[in-house]
Amino acid sequence: MDFAGLLRAIDWKFLEDSLTRLLAVLLCLTVHETSHGLAACALGDPTARDRQRLSLNPFRHIDWLGLAMMLVVGFGWAKPVPVDPRYFKKPKQGMALTALAGPVSNFLLALAAVFLSREIYLRFPYRQGGELMFEFLLYTLAPLSIGLGIFNLLPIPPLDGSKVLGAFLPDRVYFGLMRYERYGMFLLLALSWFGVTGGLIRGAIWEVYRFFFELFF
C-alpha cells in the first residue's frame, strides 16, 4: 500500500472524535485541579501556588491512569493538588471547601458548555467545519465534566466527597476515615471494574445534563 492508500485507509472521523474527547477530558481535569488550588490559596494555603499547580497547563495535572479511566469509562482523576490544612483557620472546613471547589467547577464548566452550544445552535443555523467541531467538543465536554464532578463527590477517600463529608463528622471519625485513604483508589477501581458505580453515575449524569439543557433550550 502506498502513502496515498494509507491516508485513504485511515478512519479520520474516529481520529477526530478521539482527539476531541481527549481535549474535553484534559479541559475537565485541568479546570477541576486548578480550582482546588485556587480555593486553597484563597483560604490561605500557598502550597499549590508555590508548586506551580495554579496552571491551565494540563501536563501539570495529569495522572495517566486517571486520564485513561476518564477516556475509557467517562470518569477518572488527575494528580491531586497539594494542600496543607495547617494554613487553614479551620482545617476540616478548609479542606471541605477546597475539595468542593473541584466538582463545583466541573458543573459550572458543563453549564457553560451547554449555554455555548445553544448559542452556536441559534446563531449558526448552517454550521460547518470549525463550528461543527467546536459544537461537538461542547456536547462531549458537558457530560464528561458532569461525570467527573459527580464521581468526585462520592464519599470514598481520596475523592473530594470524603473531605466534604469530613466537615460534618467528629474528628475521631474523620481521621479514622482518612487512615484508609490509600486503599480507596483500589476500591474505586474494583467498583468500576465490576460495573457497580457505572450505571448509577451514568443515570446521575443524564439527570444533571437534562436539567442544564432545559435551562437554556
From the CB of residue 85, how many other CB atoms can be counted at a distance below 10 Å?
Answer: 17
Report DSSP letters for 31-83, one per residue.
HHHHHHHHHHHHTT--HHHHTT-S---GGGT--HHHHHHHHHHS----PPPP-
Question: Which grid cell sits at 97?
Answer: 471547601
Comparing CA positions, the residue from 80, 54, 76, 55 lying closest to residue 67 is 76
Q: Which of 33, 119, 131, 135 is catalytic?
A: 33
From the CB of residue 147, how many other CB atoms can be counted at a distance below 10 Å?
Answer: 24
Beta strands per DSSP E along 68-143: none
Comparing CA positions, the residue from 209, 153, 158, 203 lying closest to residue 179 is 158
- Separation CA 46–CA 87 (nearest Å): 8
Is residue 33 annotated as part of the catalytic site, yes or no? yes
What is the 8-class DSSP label of residue 60?
Answer: G
Comparing CA positions, the residue from 72, 60, 58 lying closest to residue 23 is 58
**Residues with catalytic annotation?**
33
